[in-house]
Structure 1
Amino acid sequence: MRRTILAAALSLIPAMGVAAQCGNDASGFERWKQAFAAEAQRAGVGQRGLQALAGASYSQGTINADRNQKGVRYSLNDFIRIRLGSLDGFAAQAKRRLDQNRNFFNALEQRYGVPSGILLSIWGMETGFGRNMGNTPVVSSITTVAYDCRRSDFFTPHAIAALSMVDRGMLSANQRGAFHGELGHTQFLPGNALRYGVDGDGNGRVDFYNWADAMASTANFLRQKGWQPGQPFGQGTRNFRVLNDWNAATVYQQAIAAAAERIR
């Protein structure tokens, strides 16, 4: 069985130099995979990553979600009501997790300078503290948007990264995540996961479906993007601007900062 899967993966690789052509529906996806396999191999993707690509399916759910994006147009109060319920209730949930793991979060703040309130706010905002990390196969979703002509240039490096993560054992070939390939407790795109991933629990592996690794990686991401330890993070500050690298919606950034102020 393993030889059959490997043969199928290697059969995707055409002659060198054949460009992967994007498309707008499922009809060209298998042909695109054949060309993309060569691109992935040139980028260093190995057998396990190629096998994952061979098993990827066109994700119509991903395309439906991508086409129906309308942006964030809510006021801050409406956004908090819809996403968090209330700041006080959300902060209370975060505080319970902080109280259970205060030494861990203190250690992260000492190392990266990012307050626990910011990390917990992002965790709660993204997946409800891990309750909903998505149900779409990551490799299928990220290769679908890499193939789709709408934003192929943006998602192609993330698709390569996802296959590399499979190679390294950071991601299983059938792991599930959000519609655009976001994965784990704080919904990293694969390229960012590969670049900023940190082993938070000390077991020698980086697993974004492990909350400790996800928290450490999120702290590392923010610090690498310019977070200033010990400095304020309210709107207008340098640290607030760093939140734009996490999510470009101002109302999202405002909600993170407001919730973090309540999590002590």
Structure 2
Amino acid sequence: MRRCPGKNRILRAIWIWVVVVGCAGATVPAFATGGYDLLQKRLSASGRSSEAVRTLFSGTEPPRLKNVALYMRIRESKLNYHRFLEPDYLAMARRFLETHAEALHRAREVHQVDPTVVVAILLVETRLGTNTGSHPVVPSLAAFALMEQKTYRDRVWRMLSAKDRKRWGRKRFDDKLTARARWALQELDALARLAERGQKVSGLQGSFMGAVGWAQFMPTSMLRYGADGNGDGVVDLFAPEDAFMSIANYLRSHGWKDSAPLPHREKVLLRYNNSSPYARTVLEIARRLNRNP
């Protein structure tokens, strides 16, 4: 266990971090005078209605460049998925299974997905809906979309530590974020499509990457796999019944079968979250939930 520094050192470190991130994450002058014009033009050119695009960016704060920097700092191998196998988490998941048994059973009847798998995903993604994220979705995705421009990549590069810069290297850093820019524009396009359907998208909050709701769906997944589980005619991923039905729909659509060999089920889960430790943890949680406590 690492020793904790003294209180003054902690406060000083926090202050330095706030100053550095605040300065590095400040917006470029364009955002003082209008801002998201380029992204709005790109979305309009892709066929989205002007009303949907305006709705998407209405009242939106500047792009969250610090979220891009966070993405470039995270190392998958350092994430602790094993904690979700601890007794307290498993007990919480079992209680959740009992509380929502009826809605989970409906999702199983429709999509033939074991409820323990749905609950295992929810446990890892959002601690069963209790931690869905507080990052504004549009500014988070917009920050990634702007990475096609070197000006913004330079800003994020300066936000990284020397260690992270060395780990990435500038070319690999640029290539990664240029690809992410294309991805993020597709996600913003999906949000605009949802707005065209009449779904509320402005003000959405989620993960630092823009994932939304209990299921932590990206907008493209919301558009394709979001399902109404409670029969109210609306897909709301913050409603448990809709989250259950949507997760089950996603898994079935990607080839999930409860009886399939373990490697096949792991492959399907990798489509949900491209992390082998994640997929293995979900499968192990489900296995333990299916046996007597």
Fold-level match, TM-score > 0.5? yes
| Alignment check: 8 A CA contact 1:33 1:54 kept | no
Distance in 2 between residues matched to 1:196 and 1:138, nearest whole Å = 19
Once the two structures are superposed, residues 125-148 of structure 1 have per-residue CA deviations (whole angstroms, 9 ceiling, x without a partner) of 111111111111111111111112
Once the two structures are superposed, residues 126-176 of structure 1 have per-residue CA deviations (whole angstroms, 9 ceiling, x without a partner) of 111111111111111111111123111122100111222233343330121
| Alignment check: 8 A CA contact 1:48 1:167 kept | yes
How many residues are matched?
A: 232
| Alignment check: 8 A CA contact 2:81 2:124 kept | no
| Alignment check: 8 A CA contact 2:56 2:138 kept | yes
Structure showing greater relative contact order (alpha-carbon pairs closer than 8 Å, 6 or more residues apart): 2
Aligned counterparts, 1:32-43, within 5 A: 33-43=36-46
Structure 2 gap ranges (5+): 1-24, 149-176
State the one-letter code of the partner of 2:279. Q
User: Is structure 2 residue 282 aligned with structure 1 residue 253?
Assistant: no
User: Counterpart of 1:27?
Assistant: 28
Q: Cα distance, 1:188 vs. partner?
A: 0.7
Distance in 1 between residues matched to 2:82 and 2:45, nearest whole Å = 45
Aligned counterparts, 1:55-204, within 5 A: 55-56=59-60, 57-73=62-78, 79-81=81-83, 84=84, 86=86, 88-149=87-148, 150=177, 151-204=180-233
Q: Secondary structure at the match of 2:77?
A: coil
User: Is structure 2 residue 249 aligned with structure 1 residue 223?
Assistant: no
Distance in 1 between residues matched to 2:93 and 2:198, nearest whole Å = 30
User: Counterpart of 1:3?
Assistant: none
Q: Secondary structure at the match of 2:242?
A: helix
Query: Which has the larger Rg?
Result: 2
Distance 1:53 1:129, change over 3 A: same
State the one-letter code of the partner of 1:231. S
Distance in 1 between residues matched to 2:243 and 2:30, nearest whole Å = 32
| Alignment check: 8 A CA contact 1:123 1:185 kept | yes
| Alignment check: 8 A CA contact 1:117 1:263 kept | yes
Q: Which moved more, 1:37-46 or 1:187-196?
A: 37-46
User: Counterpart of 1:51?
Assistant: 55
Structure with higher helix content: 2
| Alignment check: 8 A CA contact 1:53 1:139 kept | yes
Distance 1:32 1:231, change over 3 A: farther
| Alignment check: 8 A CA contact 1:61 1:179 kept | no
Structure 1 gap ranges (5+): 1-23
Q: Cα distance, 1:232 vs. partner?
A: 4.4
| Alignment check: 8 A CA contact 1:72 1:249 kept | no
Distance in 2 between residues matched to 1:233 and 1:98, nearest whole Å = 24
| Alignment check: 8 A CA contact 1:117 1:260 kept | yes
User: Counterpart of 1:20?
Assistant: none
Distance 1:198 1:127, change over 3 A: same
Distance 1:29 1:165, change over 3 A: farther
Distance in 2 between residues matched to 1:137 and 1:103, nearest whole Å = 32
User: Counterpart of 2:265?
Assistant: 239
Q: Cα distance, 1:180 vs. partner?
A: 0.9
Q: Secondary structure at the match of 1:129?
A: coil
User: Counterpart of 1:12?
Assistant: none
Distance in 2 between residues matched to 1:251 and 1:33, nearest whole Å = 37
State the one-letter code of the partner of 1:133. T
Distance in 2 between residues matched to 1:51 and 1:108, nearest whole Å = 32
